[in-house]
């Protein structure tokens, strides 16, 4: 995502849709549909405000089902890169998004890093060559290589 309101909103919508798709898959695989439907029938009376509250509700009603649900959702492989950052505040945005994901969804999102805004990128777009080829020593290239290296080494 980029550090702009519309991109942040789109990232949130994507995470939410992917989370609920994962929840539906787990529901079917572990026959959790009845307990999840019970929780969602009257969410205001259950005090369910977030998806993390739903997991806690399932855990309270059926500890075994709750454990399965939490384990499956914890395996949800969310990773984030913030692109085109210009300030330290924008650099910290990735960590804030990850913390909000943990609080709201109850799942971990890994912040892989950030890529600084770099004129080399738009120049490479205009020449239709990858920035890593067109500008191998640019700040964007170094950031991309660092993120890729951490993925390749299994650090992320």
For 72-97, write each residue's pLDDT tens digit: 888 888 999 999 999 999 999 999 99
Q: Give, for 85, the enclosing helix (H) or strand (E).
A: strand 78-85
CB 79 within 8 A of CB 110: yes
Q: What residues pair up with 113 in beta bridges, in sequence order?
A: 81
For 97-142, write each residue's pLDDT tens digit: 999 998 888 888 999 999 999 999 999 999 999 999 999 999 999 9
The Cα 21–Cα 19 span in angstroms is 5
pTM of the predicted structure, to 2 decimals: 0.81
Q: What residues pair up with 114 in beta bridges, in sequence order?
A: 82
CB 78 within 8 A of CB 25: no
Instruction: Report how far Cα 58 is from the mean position of its chain's Cα atoms.
Output: 23
For 22-49, write each residue's pLDDT tens digit: 888 888 787 888 887 887 776 565 677 8
């Amino acid at each position: 995502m980029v550090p702009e309101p519309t991109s942040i909103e789109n990232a949130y919508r994507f995470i939410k849709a992917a989370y609920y798709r994962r929840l539906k898959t787990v529901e079917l695989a572990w026959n959790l549909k009845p307990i999840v439907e019970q929780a969602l029938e009257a969410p205001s009376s259950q005090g369910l405000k977030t998806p993390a509250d739903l997991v806690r509700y399932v855990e309270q009603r059926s500890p075994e089902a709750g454990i399965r649900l939490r384990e499956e959702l914890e395996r949800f492989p969310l990773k984030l890169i913030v692109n085109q950052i210009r300030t330290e505040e924008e650099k910290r945005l990735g960590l804030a998004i990850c913390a909000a994901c943990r609080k709201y969804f109850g799942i971990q999102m890994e912040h892989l890093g950030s890529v600084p805004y770099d004129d080399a990128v738009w120049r490479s777009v205009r020449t239709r060559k990858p920035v890593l080829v067109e500008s191998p020593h640019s700040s964007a290239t170094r950031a991309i290589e660092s993120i890729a290296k951490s993925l390749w080494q299994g650090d992320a």
